[in-house]
Structure 1
Amino acid sequence: MKLLLAGLWVVVVALGAAYGVALYLPGATDPAKAATVPVVLQTQKTRVINVPLVTGGALRGYVAAQFVYTQDGNLAKTLQVQPDVFLLDEAFRALYSDTSFDPDHVERYDLKKLTAALVKSTNDRLGVPLIKDVLIENFSYIDKDANKGG
């Protein structure tokens, strides 16, 4: 009989301790607070891409670009592929097909529009809002005739 009462006493103490801890921990009683995980931002640097600039059917030069992006670190852990692959693909497509790029006036190119489009298109392809911001690390235009000289 003593063994049965001792076992019952251990169960009651264990349940009471679990209930007490649940009440004591901040946010443990509010499932909405307990479910929110703070966003951890991480920065990643891409490799340099070279995009050919073709105007009027002729090669004019190349745009060399490198980006830095911030991502949700918690969300990044759930992906099986690196997002920079998609980011670079979107950047290549955007720069290659952009008819507003003027190699004679590179300083007038709308980089804000480019980076905003890269965030949106990359997140759309990934299916999750992973990329928070895209920054320009390097953006250069290289004329195809720059190395030719006499």
Structure 2
Amino acid sequence: MIRIAIIGLWICGVALGSLYFAVWQNSATASVAPKTGEVVLDDGKTDVFSVPVIIDNAVHGYVVTQFAYTLDKSVKASVTVPVSYFINDEIFSQFYGQYSDVKDVQQVKFDDVKKSIIDRVNAHFPQPLLKDLLVEQFNYISSKEIRNQNTKGLERP
């Protein structure tokens, strides 16, 4: 019986010791201030939205996108308008009306798209705000697939 009590006390002591050590390490690293000149970043995600692919005045499908982004926190503090509005607008502008063939969507060069969006968003602000843009989701859905989903289980005449 005493043996079990000693083992229990030993386990509690190890757990409390490791907790104390973890808190001590965390407070020691948190107290280090960022160096001057070091950029502090903030992050976010755009909404999931779709951009129609229009070819010959007909909708052939939709590009469904979601991006993650990083912002310079010091510049963001001076901006009063939500930055996601500018990012969404530039993403929509980048994809709307850019494709003359559905196969072009499959050959998107994300490095070029990313650089273009970052440059165009940063042009709205006195200092560069948007640091990086990452693809969270990028899908192409044809209008035929959407039609088939909407009429699932229904017979066509």
TM-score, structure 1 as length reference: 0.69
CA shift at 1:92, angstroms?
A: 0.3
Residues 70-114 of structure 1: CA deviation (Å, up to 9, x unaligned): 1101111111011111010011011003136x4236432111111
Q: 2:143 is matched by which residue type in structure 1?
A: K
Indicate the residue corresponding to 1:104 in structure 2. Answer: 103
1:110-149 pair list within 5 angstroms: 110-149=109-148
Aligned residues: CA RMSD: 1.7
Judge conservation of contact 2:87–2:117 (CA < 8 Å) in 1: yes
Local SS of the residue matching 2:134: strand
| Pair 1:69 & 2:58 matched | no
User: TM (normalized to structure 2)?
Assistant: 0.66
Q: Which amino acid aligns with 2:81?
A: V
Within a 5 Å distance, the mapping from 1:1-150 to structure 2 comes to 36-99=36-99, 102-104=101-103, 106-149=105-148
Measure, in 1, the Cα distance between the counterparts of 2:49 and 2:126. 24
Larger radius of gyration: 1
The runs of 5 or more residues in structure 1 that have no matched partner are 1-35
Q: In 1, Cα distance between the equivalents of 2:107 and 2:41? A: 31
Runs of 4+ that moved beyond 4 A: none
SS in 2 for 1:98: coil
Change (3 A) 1:90 1:105: closer
| Percent of residue pairs bearing the same amino acid type | 32
Secondary structure of 2:89 counterpart: helix
